[in-house]
Structure 1
Amino acid sequence: METIQPTLRVVTTPEFSSSTIASPLEGNVKELSTIEDEVFSSGMLGKGVAIEPDNGDVVSPVAGVVTTVFPTKHAIGLTSDDGVEILIHIGMDTVGLNGEAFESFVKQNDRVKKGDLLVRADLSKIKAAGLSIITPVVITNSDTYRKIIISHGGKISKGQEIITVKA
């Protein structure tokens, strides 16, 4: 009888002591715990912030790879070059818009630089549908890190440091 040995695949990420995440939007930063969506406010998906955007241009907060673009284009997942996994979820309950208010400029497995345009959201369309434009930005592998520091509150510009992750 032949014995089948499992194949192990080791995935490594570069060692780092800390990594910074930039804001993907211009707007007003709020604590994640203050938003109405319990999945995000409870920290179930990870630690992070919520941003009330001033405009709909969403840029990459890191250099890395696009790991997920939801078919409805309302959410995007990224993995930074140092292994930090980030979810940007544009608006609350916006999946029901079926992509109507979103234009994606990237696809899964695309390589991005910090500041590259990812998605353009029509905030007027989202608001007209009676939905919130609050956009959570979460570190989905938060449990992997010793400390997640929210480095900014209040008004923020795209590219400004918003979260620091400590290994």
Structure 2
Amino acid sequence: MEWLGKLFKNDEYRLSAPAAGKAVSVTEVKDETFSTEILGKGIAIVPESNRIVAPCDAVVDLMFDTGHAVSLKANFGAEVLIHVGLDTVNLKGKHFTVHAKTGDVVKEGQLLIEFDRAAIAAEGYDTVTPMVICNSDEFKTITPQIGTVVAEGEPVMTLKK
């Protein structure tokens, strides 16, 4: 799947799933910051795994110290935010293991974060994982593929400049 996260055709790019799970609309996320698309358009994954991988070739713009989120700058210009769970910043890093740091150049599929999904849920947190394009206005269209169960690395979003 060499084309994922790279130029697909006619200024069209694809991002792959950062985690295995059910792909749902970001508008269904029970957090207004994501559901109203304040941070940008995107998708959310209800994770069935404990890993977050890079959805494309990118530079790690910011790896949060707590490990609950990562911001990437894709090679094609998209600013991608992946946020593991809702309000999980309150865990202060508990249940998260970081595998990349700010400034790292990462390849699509590279492990970025591991998390203990069961332990996070047991503490009362929703583990839904939004992936949003923070510079959505720089793309003509952003099309998420929702409503299916996806494997880590499967295409989940198409962006067109």
The two structures have a TM-score, normalised by structure 2, of 0.92
The residue identity in structure 1 corresponding to 2:153 is G
Q: 1:117 aligns with which of 111, 116, 123?
A: 111
Distance in 2, Cα, partners of 1:118 & 1:107 = 8
Runs of 4+ in structure 1 over 6 Å off: none
Distance in 1, Cα, partners of 2:122 & 2:80 = 28
The residue identity in structure 2 corresponding to 1:77 is S
Distance in 1, Cα, partners of 2:44 & 2:156 = 11
* Aligned twin of 1:148: 142
Cα distance, 1:35 vs. partner? 1.4
Do the aligned partners of 1:88 and 1:137 also contact (CA within 8 Å) in 2? yes
Distance in 1, Cα, partners of 2:146 & 2:13 = 15
Q: 1:67 aligns with which of 56, 61, 71?
A: 61
Do the aligned partners of 1:152 and 1:161 also contact (CA within 8 Å) in 2? no
Q: Secondary structure at the match of 1:138?
A: strand
Do the aligned partners of 2:25 and 2:146 also contact (CA within 8 Å) in 1? no
Q: 2:101 aligns with which of 99, 103, 107?
A: 107
Alignment of 1:1-167 (within 5 A): 17-167=11-161
Distance in 2, Cα, partners of 1:34 & 1:124 = 21
The residue identity in structure 2 corresponding to 1:64 is A
Distance in 1, Cα, partners of 2:39 & 2:72 = 14
Identity of aligned residues (%): 37
Cα distance, 1:116 vs. partner? 0.3
Superposed CA deviations along residues 34-69 of structure 1, whole A, max 9, x for unmatched, are: 111000000000000111000111100000100011
Cα RMSD (Å) of the superposition?
1.2
Cα distance, 1:113 vs. partner? 0.4
Relative to structure 1, the CA distance from residue 80 to residue 111 in structure 2 (aligned partners, 3 Å threshold; closer, same or farther) is: same
Cα distance, 1:81 vs. partner? 0.7
Q: Secondary structure at the match of 1:67?
A: strand
